[in-house]
Chain A
Amino acid sequence: MSSFSGRRAAAIALAFVGVSGMSAFVAVPDVEAQLIISEFRLRGPNGASDEFIEVFNNSGADHTVNGGGAGYGVAASDGVTRCTIPDGTVIPNRGHYLCVNSVGYSLASSPAGNGTTATGDATYTTDIPDNAGIAIFNNDTGGGAYILANRMDAVGSTSEANTLYKEGTGYPALVPFSIDYSFYRDTCGKGGSITTFGACSDTTPKDTNNNAADFVFVDSNGTPAGAGQRLGAAGPSNLSSPIERNASFSTNLLDVCVVSTSPPNRVRDFTSDSANNSTFGTLDIRRTVTNNTGGNVTRLRYRITDLTTFPAPSGIADLRPRTSTTVVVTVDRPPCGSGTSNISVNGTTLEQPPSQPNGGGFNSSMSAGTVTLATPLANGANIDVRFLLGIQQTGSFKFYLNIEALP
Chain B
Amino acid sequence: MNFLHALLILPLSATTAVPWSMPRQAPASAAQRPLFQLDVVRDRGVAVTLQATDARLVDVVDDLGRRLGAPITLAPGLVNERVRVSFSGLPLESALAALAPRAYVDYEVRAAQDPRAREIHLTSADERAPEARGSVAGMLISGHTEDIGGTPNDPITLALDGDRLSLSVRAQPLAVVLRILGETLNVPVDLDAEGAQLLNVDLRLLRVEDAVLRLSPDLRLQVRADLYRGTRTITRIALARPGA
Where the two chains meet, the residues of A that have a C-beta atom closer than 8 Å to any C-beta of B are: 9, 12-22, 24-26, 28, 61, 197-201, 203, 244, 246-247, 249-253, 256-263, 266, 268, 280, 283, 285, 287, 289, 302-303, 305, 317, 319, 334-336, 387, 391, 394-403
Contacts and interface: CB of A to CB of B under 8 A. Distances in A.
Given A20-B65, A199-B190, A399 B141 contact: yes
A256 B145 CA distance: 20
6 contacts: A15-B130, A261-B149, A262-B154, A397-B143, A403-B138, A403-B139
B139 A401 contact: yes
B23 interface: yes
A170 to B, nearest CB: 29
A399 B186 CA distance: 12
Contacts of A266: 143, 149
B145 A397 contact: yes
Nearest to B187: A199
Interface stretch (B2-10, B158-166, B212-220): B158-166
Interface in B140-194: 140-150, 154, 156-162, 166, 180, 182-184, 186, 188-191
Contacts of B158: 258-260
A158 B236 CA distance: 38
Contact of B180 (A28, A259, A401): A259
A387 B71 CA distance: 40
Contact of B143 (A201, A252, A261, A335): A261
B72 A257 contact: no
A261 B147 contact: yes
Contacts of B156: 259, 261
B161 A257 contact: yes
A260 B180 contact: yes
B121 interface: yes
Given A199-B182, A253-B183, A268-B145, 8 more contacts: A19-B72, A20-B71, A22-B65, A246-B138, A261-B156, A266-B143, A287-B139, A395-B145
B134 interface: yes
A110 B130 CA distance: 32
Interface stretch (B31-39, B40-48, B74-82, B89-97): B74-82
A347 to B, nearest CB: 16
Contact of B130 (A16, A244, A289, A302): A16
A61 B162 CA distance: 35
Interface of B: 20-21, 23-25, 58, 61-62, 65-66, 70-76, 79, 121, 128, 130-131, 134, 136-150, 154, 156-162, 166, 180, 182-184, 186, 188-191, 236
Contact of B149 (A13, A260, A335, A387): A260
A345 to B, nearest CB: 14
Contacts of B166: 336
Given A259-B156, A335-B161, A17 B73 contact: yes
Contact of A16 (B74, B146, B157): B74
Contacts of A17: 23-25, 58, 73-74, 76, 79
Nearest to A248: B128
A205 to B, nearest CB: 14
Instruction: From B130, B141, B145, B166, name the one whose CB has the most chain A CB atoms within 10 angstroms.
Output: B145
Contacts of A289: 139
Nearest to B189: A199
Given A21-B62, A259-B180, A403-B138, A12 B191 contact: no
Contact of B20 (A9, A26, A247, A317): A9
A280 B144 CA distance: 13
B95 to A, nearest CB: 15
B131 A247 contact: yes
A38 to B, nearest CB: 17
A280 B70 CA distance: 51
B136 A247 contact: yes
Given A12-B21, A20-B70, A398 B161 contact: no
Contacts of A258: 149-150, 157-159
B157 A203 contact: no
Contacts of A198: 188-191
A394 B71 contact: no
B23 A14 contact: yes
B72 A20 contact: yes
Contacts of B162: 334-335
A394 B146 contact: yes
A321 to B, nearest CB: 11
B145 A261 contact: no
Contacts of B21: 9, 12
A256 B160 contact: yes
A15 B76 contact: yes
Contact of B71 (A22, A197, A199): A22
Instruction: From B79, B131, B146, name the one whose CB has the most chain A CB atoms within 10 angstroms.
Output: B146
Contacts of A15: 75-76, 130
B222 to A, nearest CB: 11
A398 B182 CA distance: 12
Contacts of A247: 128, 131, 136
Nearest to A283: B145
Contacts of B62: 19-21
Contact of B74 (A19, A398, A402): A19
A9 B75 CA distance: 17
B141 A261 contact: no
A334 B162 CA distance: 7
